[in-house]
Amino acid sequence: MTAETCDHCGADLGDAARFCTECGTPVGGRPIEASETTGVHDGDEPPARLVECEVCGASNAASRPLCAHCGTPLREEVPGGDALPDDWSADPPDPGTAPAPRGRGLDTSPVLLSLVLLAGLVTAGVLLALVTSQVRRTDGPPVAAGVAPSGATASSVVEGHRALQAIDGDATTAWHEGADGPGTGEWLEVQLPGRTEVRRVLVWNGDQADETSFAAHGRAAGIRIEVGGRQFRVDLLDIDGPQAVDLPDGVVDDRVRLVVEAVVGEQPELAISEVVVETSAD
């Protein structure tokens, strides 16, 4: 049996075909219901409208969204669907002219600038803490507990007011410097039993034996604490009682030196009644 071919495009037809699967043309003499293919009706209606593929030139039924030969989308409106846009192209877009993605991209320049500025402020704060420490008055017993020092030395002394009297646990005894002048540049050094992390230094400023001794002798207005290869400048208050200087973490040494940088008035024999060193083990 010879296979039938389409009268319009010459494509082979199946034995039971009622229309050409390539171009949509009805097979002669066979009725086609309107529900079977869009654009074809009973009676004397003309064959289905054909659309020529712009890529390969093949004829296709208007109802086909893609070319049956090369798969290219047809530029006609697809029944029951949406029309292809007039500017549609089967060719891939040029990367150089591709549209920018939607949405606003994150501009990292201000963010990076803010991070750099924040890092600079943090660094400056750390450096400032290493240079200037804040003193605060602390309440408690006459002499707070701390690490037991192994000794004390000083740049100069007055008989009866030696360096050891600043670490004897008694705030009514005091070290007096014996140099000429108000005492600027004089120092008192507390020696620890071994290398340890120093967390806090407590200072009893002036001779705190009584009010008369306190007023009669010099007091420090500013000191420099030298410990662990670092220096911390502190402004002391002109009051009796202990004043606490908290140090940052990681300050390790076996001695703590207090150097007088400024004094209150011009009274002779600058005095410090007591120094207590607190460590991480306390």
Q: What does the pLDDT read at residue 135?
A: 57
pLDDT beneath 70: ranges in the chain: 1-3, 16-19, 23-24, 27-49, 60-69, 71, 75-109, 111, 122-145, 282
Residue-range domain boundaries for the chain: 1-92, 135-279
Using CA atoms, how far apart are residues 224 and 186, in angstroms rounded to an integer? 11
Question: pLDDT at position 88, please?
Answer: 47
- Token output for 236: 């002391």
Cβ within 8 Å of residue 38, ≥6 positions away: 62, 63, 79, 80
Q: What angle do CA 194, 164, 172 make, to 5 degrees?
A: 125
In CATH terms, is domain 135-279 a member of 3.90.930.12? no
Query: Tell me, what's the pLDDT at 258?
Result: 98
